[in-house]
Amino acid sequence: MSQAVAERPVRRPPRPGRPADQFRMSPLSSAGLGVAVLWLSILVLLPLAAVVAKGTGSGWAGFANAFTDSRAYDAIKLTVLASLGVSIANAVMGTVIAWVLVRDSFPGKRILEIVIDLPFALPTIVAGLVLLTLYGPNSAVAPDWQGTRPGIIVALLFVTLPFVVRTVEPVLLSLETDVEEAAASLGAGPFTTFRRIVLPAITPAVLSGSALAFGRAMGEYGSVVLISGQLEHKTEVASLYIYKQIQDDALPEAAATATVLLIISLLVMAAMGAGQYWSARRA
Amino acid sequence: MPDQLLKSRPSRWTLRYLALSYVAVLVVLPVGMVFWRTVQQGWRAFVDALTSSESVHAFQLTAVVAGSAVLINTVFGVGVAILLARYRFPGKRVLNLIIDLPVSVSPIVVGFALILVFGFRTGWFGPTLRDAGINIIFAPPGMILATCFVALPLVVREVLPVLQETGVDQEQAARSLGASSWQRFVRITLPTIKWALAYGVVLSVARSIGEFGAVKVVSGNVSGQTQTVTLLVDQHAEQFENGAYQLSVVLIVVAALCIVAISFIRPHEGS
Amino acid sequence: MGIAAQHIYKRFGDFVALDDVNLDVRSGELTALLGPSGGGKSTLLRIIGGLEDADSGSVIIDGVEATGVPAQRRNVGFVFQHYAAFKHLSVYRNVSFGLEIRKRSKAEIRNRVHELLELVHLDQFADRLPSQLSGGQRQRMALARALAVEPKVLLLDEPFGALDAKVRKELRDWLRRLHDEVHVTTVFVTHDQEEALEVSDSLVVINHGRIEQVGSPNELYDHPVNDFVMGFLGPVTELNGQLVRPHDIEVLSTDLTGSVQAKVHRLVRIGFEVRAELDAGDSQPWVQLTRGQADALELETGSVVWLRPSRDASTLVPQAGPPGAAAVNRTTVGP
């Protein structure tokens, strides 16, 4: 999933005078495009527009509720800070794990590969239950983090584990080790080589992986619902707050917070797009 | 592979065991714990948990919802990938962006958004649809829509790069040999994208079976009626009922099978 | 009969690929479309094949109006530069593809495919996948595939462009012999003038979306209508205000009528050939000689000689301005 977004190929500019690989619309393809646009509108665009319309429906005052209501404010603040922390942790640990997967070899590496992907494929509620089992009240092995912020962080770290690993891995694979050897032959120590040669090459991938992790953490619900204990002002992340508001039929409040989340995800997407454009131009 | 950083033994071991213990503490131990709890509660409890009438219904509903969503997203995904790869039309960049949008929207917001449009009380189209006798929210159609939404880009994003990479030569050769557009699709395009499509479908299956937040919002979570397996796990866990561990083990095994399937498909992709 | 393309006009955005092109291809002939890349020759071929639509103009194949007929119903064989092999199908299935589409009987398909694979010398590779073939073998398979459906015309788009020099030469000879055997009306696109001169019955030079000249290879080589055609088909040099081929210049040790004095500036030996670069006052021609000629004249750097076009040389007075002339380098033009 992360690769799919991060590795979008840069399209070649059309060559003049050479027949392009793309055709003018035919009646069949026009009909297909019509159906696709209609489906996307019904499924994605209209519903998201409805959220924004509801969130801003009672004017600026209603929307500002998301910032002035202390419960909503605390939820958004917790979500943003936790997501930021998780992105930074992923940037470091994801790079380390990708490094070990690409450059190290030891028995059981294939199992590690599969374990890394597990958080992608696992239903989020199962992830939540799994974490509650170890980091909950009945664990007897690990500390009880139910109803605490470390519990939230662990859940977010679990579901975002593959993002940075899977975006950095292909870049590390394509990196020629002879460049590093050249640096070493010029007298650079291993850490200097890493900092001066490897790090600049993988930075775009680390950033886009972290951005994907950030976006995912911002909206996460299933994995935190059990371990959070859903304590207002303390462990209530934005999606938990929105869910409660929907249950209490407080739709405008839910919509205002949802709009804030949507805006943040759009900003993250835009930043990623700009980042890719920037690094593609440098490459 | 010679690697400067890994040549020194201490740093190599430090990195390896840092990575391994992080993954162990975060993933392996918690997952193992769920298996352990399941084993503790015994075979009897396992069979009971899977064969209770609400479990059976939940499995059936998950199959219907995930199956429909995967089917819809596969057809849509292949169609949109062909449009994006092969045709020129205005608004193409916008379409390309919208496809990725669902990745970054919270599942709760997805469900909420669908309620605002299709909810039968206050939704934009809800009352009209209700008068026509169509229930979307609190019913399987809404759950299918929610699942389609969250898994939307998976097939497109796997198939599109392969189509762009392959180019149109083979399709044009088939055309000059007399193949109609349907014959070209079946005989040339489909075999070309086969592995990427399989990859995208497996990803979609895993995502669709596992979808929880969006389905929870739109389903109404009525036991025995609109409860998928993930919703049932949630209910068991929140109500301290038996069965959550057992159902989770089944879902973990399904997820692991999906990953294994993917690891078999991956080497074929792009060959 | 053959192919007639009339008043073909085609643009891509602001770029005019073909500007009112008229082309007649005689039935059974092997015709080369020759020109620099971006000149419009591939686009013309694709319009004939129906893979591209002209903005205006008409295409007539074998006396039948083909404009607007989709490619799959034109019954033309098309061979692509990069083979366009069906990667997931065996060599046999690649060749049988068009016959399967036409729902021919199994027995008929089997006979026809084996006949064609023999023709292209690939019979023993029938069960291989294209990825297990060399480039030259893949292109022969693509030719067999195109011929399988007994097309009215065979169109080849830079068929040897992706092959290395040695294979390219072999396939060139082979294509000529193949055409002598099957005699299907054939048009092939190339930017290699040697290839075009060697293989084709008839040659069409295209540049900047216009046809510069049409004729037999010899006609075009000996009587080019302009600088562009002359420069594109072979080496050109300028002597005394005239364009002339460097092997069409007589080198004299004495001053005879119509000759110009020149001083040898540099001598280059390339195998049996000697290239002499000279200084003749207002022009710097170069001359192509055999080693024997150069030795007989005792040419050395600094020798003074007299130059004049040989009696049957084709010469051309360079035109000022027209687009074709821009491609001709004033002093030396080589392939």
Nearest residue in B to C83, CA atom: B169
Distance CA B47, CA B246 (A): 9
The SS3 of residue B55 is helix
Q: Identify all chain A residues contacting B206, using CB atoms and an 8 Å cutoff.
A: 120-121
Task: Output the pLDDT for position C18.
Answer: 93
Say whether residue A19 is in contact with chain C using an 8 A CB cutoff. yes
CB distance B109 to A258 below 8 Å: yes
Tell me how crowded residue C176 is: count the other CB atoms within 10 A of its CB.
Answer: 14
Distance CA B67, CA C208 (A): 56
CA distance B153 to chain A (A): 8
User: Average pLDDT of each block of 10 consecutive residues along chain A (283 residues)?
Assistant: 36 40 82 92 90 81 74 90 94 93 86 89 91 83 82 93 91 81 77 81 88 91 88 88 90 89 86 76 64
Tokens 């199994």: give the residue: C106
The SS3 of residue A271 is helix
What value, to the nearest 5°, has the Cα angle with vertex C164 and ends C160 and C170? Answer: 65
Say whether residue A17 is in contact with chain C using an 8 A CB cutoff. yes
CB distance C167 to C135 below 8 Å: yes
In the structure encoding, which two tokens stand for residue A81, read together?
């800070």
Task: Output the pLDDT for position B154.
Answer: 92
Q: Identify all chain B residues contacting A255, using CB atoms and an 8 Å cutoff.
A: 112, 116
Count of positions (residues) in chain A: 283
Distance CA A142, CA B9 (A): 31
pLDDT digits (tens, 9 = 90+) for C35-67: 998 889 999 999 999 988 899 999 999 989 999
HEC profile of C232-244: HHCCEEEECCEEE
According to CATH, what is the number of the domain A50-282?
1.10.3720.10
Residue C145 has pLDDT above 80, yes or no: yes
User: In chain A, where are the structural domains located?
Assistant: 50-282
Q: Closest to A22 (Cβ–Cβ): which among B88, B161, B260? A: B88
Q: Do C102 and B191 touch (CB under 8 A)?
A: no
Nearest residue in A to C16, CA atom: A17
Reference B65, options B201, B223, B210; nearest CA is B210
Distance CA A142, CA A176 (A): 42
What secondary structure letter does DSSP report for C17? E
Q: Do A226 and B8 touch (CB under 8 A)?
A: no
Q: Do B172 and C51 touch (CB under 8 A)?
A: yes
CB distance C316 to C226 below 8 Å: yes
* Residue C238, burial from CB neighbour count under 10 angstroms (0-12, 13-18, 19+): buried
CA distance B108 to chain A (A): 6
CA distance B94 to chain A (A): 11
Contacts of C274 (CB under 8 A, 6+ apart): C267, C268, C288, C289, C290, C291, C293, C294, C299
Q: Do C50 and B176 touch (CB under 8 A)?
A: yes
Q: Identify all chain C residues contacting A20, using CB atoms and an 8 Å cutoff.
A: 12
* Residue C19, burial from CB neighbour count under 10 angstroms (0-12, 13-18, 19+): middle
pLDDT digits (tens, 9 = 90+) for C109-121: 999 999 999 988 9
Q: Closest to C72 (Cβ–Cβ): which among B179, B191, B192? A: B179
Contacts of A116 (CB under 8 A, 6+ apart): A97, A101, A161, A162, A165, A166, B23
Hey, which residues does C206 pair with through a beta bridge?
C211
Hey, which residues does C188 pair with through a beta bridge?
C32, C156
CA distance A18 to chain C (A): 7
Q: Do B255 and A131 touch (CB under 8 A)?
A: no
Distance CA B130, CA B121 (A): 9
Count of positions (residues) in chain C: 335
Give CA separation, C289 vs A279, C270, C281, C299, in Å: 56, 10, 21, 11
Reference B41, options B269, B248, B243; nearest CA is B243
DSSP string for A88-128: HHHHHHHHHHHHHHHH---TTHHHHHHHHHHHHHS-HHHHH
Instruction: Determine the residue among C86, C103, C104, C139 to mutate to test chain B binding: the one whose Cβ has the most chain B Cβ atoms within 10 Å.
Output: C86
* Direct distance between the N- and C-terminal alpha carbons of chain B, in angstroms, rounded to an integer: 24
Task: Output the pLDDT for position C327.
Answer: 40
Hey, which residues does C30 pair with through a beta bridge?
C186
Q: Do A115 and B27 touch (CB under 8 A)?
A: yes
* Residue A272, burial from CB neighbour count under 10 angstroms (0-12, 13-18, 19+): buried
Instruction: Determine the residue among A15, A18, A21, A28 to mutate to test chain C binding: the one whose Cβ has the most chain C Cβ atoms within 10 Å.
Output: A18
Q: Do A25 and B157 touch (CB under 8 A)?
A: no
With a cut of 50, list the residues of chain B below it in pLDDT: 1-2, 271
Tokens 């010899």: give the residue: C218
Contacts of C152 (CB under 8 A, 6+ apart): C61, C62, C74, C75, C76, C184, C185
Q: Do B176 and C70 touch (CB under 8 A)?
A: no
Q: Identify all chain B residues contacting A40, using CB atoms and an 8 Å cutoff.
A: 95, 98-99
pLDDT digits (tens, 9 = 90+) for C195-235: 999 999 999 999 999 999 999 999 999 889 999 999 999 88
Q: Identify all chain C residues contacting A21, using CB atoms and an 8 Å cutoff.
A: none
For chain C, the average pLDDT equals: 88
